[in-house]
Structure 1
Amino acid sequence: MKTFLFYDVETSGLNPVFDQILTFASIRTDLRLREINRQSVTIQLRGDIVPSPKAFLTHGLTNDELALGIHEYEAALRIHKLVNTPETISLGYNSLGFDDEFLRFMFYRNLLDPYSHQYGNGCSRMDILPIAVVYRVFHADIIKWPEIEGKPSLKLDLIAEANNLVTSGRAHEAMNDVESLIELSKKLFSQEETWHYCLDFFSKTKEEARINRIKSDFQIQNRYFRICIMISLSFGSKVNYMAPVIHLGQSLPYKNQSLWLRLDSEAIPGFGDALNIEDAHVIRKRPGDGLIILPALERFWNRMPASSKQLTDENLEKFCSQCEKFFELIQYHLEYRYPLIPDIDPDASLYQDGFFSGKEKKECEKFHLAGKDRKHEIVDQLQSPRIKILANRILDRNFSKGPLQATSKEYQCHLDQLRSVSEANKIKGYKGDTKYGRHEALEELKELESTFLNPDPDQRKMMAWLNDYIKEF
């Protein structure tokens, strides 16, 4: 039986590669949103994580609460089993933009398949936030939409407050947010036709079929292109969350990416400005990723502001008159490959090193099946360099006994890098970003102390703990 697994996470910071999940809450329902069961997992703060003061002041999780949790490896096994239960559709609120990537990297560094919950055993993913945006555009009367300083907001806690959604806890508490999400989904579900229409945007085959049915009827020289409408929260309320786009084609090195260019941009690099075509912001869409594509039908097109339609006409005219440059832009982005990061940290190497091979999966399984007392022995037998280093980190983070001296030299070096202020010692991610260290945390704490006026007793207690913890890291 197909089920929804609504879930939410609270984290130590905003980086899905290097920060960690601290709490995971989920409620499983049937497809008519009737609750079946619920699960909650609290995870101990890892020894190699420097907590972000802003994150901790937002969710309010205390060190005492986290100390009662389980270690990350055990939590990863438990959560992986939940989202991989056959016929599970896992979904959250902005989960495809935030939570799901946290899960993916947690699974990866704990030697679990980071993608199986997307396709294996009838499992798949969804996200309620893009669905809420569609309702905001086409069925705005379905709920009350909150505003901040006169501008619409789609923040879940504000929607819950504006619509009196019944929950049992505080905002930014994982289980409370899951309850809010289900109550919101029930209101959206009351328009069943729209609800089911939106669900198909998260089915790879159904979404691809929808896009393929849209005619490629805009001609530039001897080539034909699809003109469509894309819906995304990122476009903002000023343009009604809608943007006219032209389909450039499929990425050559990354077969699951279709490339789209916004047509309502005031300046497109390479066409009348100082920038080159390489600087053009091309949207890389993956099947079922929550970027909604609609045909450019009049009833949709007329919901966009006049300025968007005018810029579309102007940009299409540029492409037609400078078609060779436009084709050059297309070819550059179709062939584009992400740059290789030579000194990428092993925790961040998922996209660069790719899927686990068949041999690596067998080594992962061997590690998981070994008892706690035999895992060190199994690590010594591993042949794959990346499996070996990730397995050693699991031991250091979850099974080390006693003081720092009981951990590996590699892990001690990792901690030293987090304490360093030198740029040369930064721990690098796949985007060229770096892991949050003690120096950044102290700077953030200093900024908060100077701007955070009238903190309540709980916030003062949190600030004091953060100050002590980060300085002693």
Structure 2
Amino acid sequence: MGFLFLDLETSGLSSSFDAPLQAAFVQTDADLQIQRELTLRCALPGHIVPSPDALLVTGLTPEMLEDQPLSHLEMMAQIARIVSDSRPSLILGFNNLRFDDECLRQAWYQTLLPPYAGSMTGHGRGDVLSMLRAVTLVEPQAIIIPHDATGKPVMKLGDVCRANGIGLSEADAHDALADVRATRELFMLLQERAPTTMATMLGHAKKSGPIALMEAGEPVILGGTSRLTPVLPMVASPTNPAARVCVDLSQDPAGFIDLPALDLLARIRSSRSPVRQVKTNAMPILFAWGQAAHALVEPEPDAVYRDRARALWAHPTFLRQLALALKDQYADREVSPWPEQQLYSGGFVSDADVVACRRWHEIEWKFREHHAAWHIRDPRLRSLAVRQIFLNAPEALSPEARRRGLDWLRHRLATEDEVPWLTVPKALARCDELAATIEPGSLAALDQIRAWLMQRRDALPQRLEEVSTMAAS
């Protein structure tokens, strides 16, 4: 199996309401020899206001946001093809499981492409940041981790690469292709310096690895962002089929083992939760006891952990109360009214709708509204289909759908209501905040961003009128 390294640059940090603007790929063979490199860029979707912070970090200018040959819809379709054509591969990035993968999933969903194309098509999925943390926790001498002025470890890609002799300048960082090249080199360095830990982590690139390690129900070592925790795998998660529930053995179970489900749920929701959910499909930092127990901070004798594990398994009601507590863990969570935030609350896309969405992409724009209405059954996807037509070919919509699209775009960009996305007024307010804190050398770029946002705000009425007139003519 080869490797597919990827990196995204996005309009902001919200996977639901921002969008990928740049994607870079480095595909290698099993020996990590580069077979091809590719960079894609797209124009900013018309309904998204980019974060001024993100633009300053990535160096994207307003001209770069608008002057691109690909639309967002076209770029997402190309990314889906690249991922499909590279299988089977191990897909790797830096912090990709928490960010890039989620951004891709949401963007595919919102452009009527299969949202799980990167995880349900034979690929393995890994994260070089998780591997770096695992090595740092278990073999700290293997890699140099820089520290900030307060002594806190810094896990940013550029800082770690430079500390270990990998060329990634501050100027190149946050360019997708430069980041993905550096990610490959860091991966190779970790394999060279910590082969045993890396072999364990690579075994977790598919969920069969952590499942096998936990199925015996024996104590194991779970890693987080900065420390290791001894845990006991106990039951499958009642809310996530890909997760297993573990109990923290560093806590004395006497404090929670006899609690009824409602009180146990309150304890789980507290800052001192005794429960950890291990996602088997997200490359957990997970070790057999003998491989990582030596790296526990202020450990108890092994016998203490074993006694606690036996007490948990032997208790007559704890497992049942734990399952009941976790079953109701998210019962009071409200479903978002916004389609962008309904990917997980609305269930998996059906096979029939996958086929209907594929056909939607193939036909001419003038037929897509009718196709969505008659052949796409999922109301989330029908709504998103009409939005995509409005953004890419508003003249193809019926007058009523076009009117709703104009109202939606006006609200999306300019509303003063409290909403979970970035609007032009909020972005301008953020520019004012940044002006008081950023380095003087960035003020010119910030002024350019502010001027572009004001121009976009002032041009909105004319833009809406043009769309309305164009479609009516």
TM-score, normalization by structure 2: 0.82
Aligned to 2:298: 306
1:102 Cα offset (Å): 0.2
1:464 Cα offset (Å): 3.2
* Cα distance in structure 2, aligned partners of 1:4 and 1:469: 43
* Cα distance in structure 2, aligned partners of 1:88 and 1:23: 21
Residues 414-442 of structure 1: per-residue CA shift (max 9 Å, x gap): 3343322234xx3xxxxxxx223334323
1:313 Cα offset (Å): 6.5
Aligned to 1:35: 34
- Aligned 8 A contact 1:25 1:174 in 2: yes
Aligned to 2:189: 187
Aligned to 1:222: none
1:327 Cα offset (Å): 4.8
1:187 Cα offset (Å): 1.0
Q: Secondary structure at the match of 2:39?
A: strand
In structure 2, relative to structure 1, the CA distance for the partners of 1:167 and 1:306 (3 Å cut) is closer
* Cα distance in structure 2, aligned partners of 1:14 and 1:337: 26
Aligned to 1:83: 83
Q: Secondary structure at the match of 1:170?
A: coil
Aligned to 2:347: 354
Q: Secondary structure at the match of 1:351?
A: coil
Residues 113-168 of structure 1: per-residue CA shift (max 9 Å, x gap): 11132132x32211111111122123334332211122222210101222231358
- Aligned 8 A contact 2:94 2:129 in 1: yes
Aligned to 1:62: 61
In structure 2, relative to structure 1, the CA distance for the partners of 1:453 and 1:349 (3 Å cut) is same
1:204 aligns with 2:199: no
* Cα distance in structure 1, aligned partners of 2:157 and 2:84: 26
- Aligned 8 A contact 2:265 2:326 in 1: no
CA RMSD of aligned residues (A): 3.4
Residues 10-45 of structure 1: per-residue CA shift (max 9 Å, x gap): 111111111101111111111221110011111111
After alignment, is 459-468 or 124-133 more displaced? Answer: 459-468
* Cα distance in structure 2, aligned partners of 1:383 and 1:327: 42
1:5 Cα offset (Å): 1.0
Q: Structure 1: 5+ residue runs without aligned partners?
A: 217-225, 427-433
* Cα distance in structure 1, aligned partners of 2:340 and 2:255: 35
- Aligned 8 A contact 2:10 2:22 in 1: yes
**Amino acid of the residue matched to residue 27 of structure 1?**
V
* Cα distance in structure 1, aligned partners of 2:255 and 2:444: 50
Aligned ranges 1:339-418 → 2 under 5 Å: 339=331, 341-384=334-377, 385-400=379-394, 408-418=402-412
Residues 288-339 of structure 1: per-residue CA shift (max 9 Å, x gap): 3122222333x622312216879x869959x87x968855751334423634
Aligned to 2:463: none
* Cα distance in structure 1, aligned partners of 2:100 and 2:252: 33
**Amino acid of the residue matched to residue 288 of structure 1?**
N
Aligned to 2:129: 129
* Cα distance in structure 2, aligned partners of 1:155 and 1:10: 15
* Cα distance in structure 2, aligned partners of 1:325 and 1:278: 17
In the alignment, which of 278, 293, 298 is matched to residue 286 of structure 2? 293
* Cα distance in structure 2, aligned partners of 1:346 and 1:260: 33
Q: Secondary structure at the match of 1:379?
A: helix
* Cα distance in structure 2, aligned partners of 1:32 and 1:147: 32
Aligned ranges 1:430-469 → 2 under 5 Å: 434-456=420-442, 458-465=444-451, 467-468=453-454
* Cα distance in structure 1, aligned partners of 2:440 and 2:306: 52
Residues 172-221 of structure 1: per-residue CA shift (max 9 Å, x gap): 111111111111112122244443332101122232112224xx3xxxxx
Q: Secondary structure at the match of 2:13?
A: coil
Q: Secondary structure at the match of 1:77?
A: helix
**Amino acid of the residue matched to residue 447 of structure 1?**
E
Aligned ranges 1:134-145 → 2 under 5 Å: 134-145=134-145
* Cα distance in structure 1, aligned partners of 2:10 and 2:300: 38
Q: Secondary structure at the match of 1:147?
A: coil
Q: Structure 2: 5+ residue runs without aligned partners?
A: 461-473
Aligned to 1:256: 242
Q: Secondary structure at the match of 2:126?
A: strand
- Aligned 8 A contact 1:442 1:471 in 2: no
In structure 2, relative to structure 1, the CA distance for the partners of 1:453 and 1:129 (3 Å cut) is closer
* Cα distance in structure 2, aligned partners of 1:255 and 1:374: 38
In the alignment, which of 263, 276, 280 is matched to residue 266 of structure 2? 276
After alignment, is 194-203 or 448-457 more displaced? Answer: 448-457
Aligned to 1:153: 154
- Aligned 8 A contact 1:441 1:470 in 2: no
Taking only the aligned residue pairs, the percentage that are identical comes to 24
In structure 2, relative to structure 1, the CA distance for the partners of 1:44 and 1:98 (3 Å cut) is same
**Amino acid of the residue matched to residue 75 of structure 2?**
A
* Cα distance in structure 2, aligned partners of 1:141 and 1:360: 51
Aligned to 1:119: 120
After alignment, is 460-469 or 194-203 more displaced? Answer: 460-469
1:457 Cα offset (Å): 6.0
Aligned to 1:338: 330
Aligned to 1:52: 51
1:406 Cα offset (Å): 10
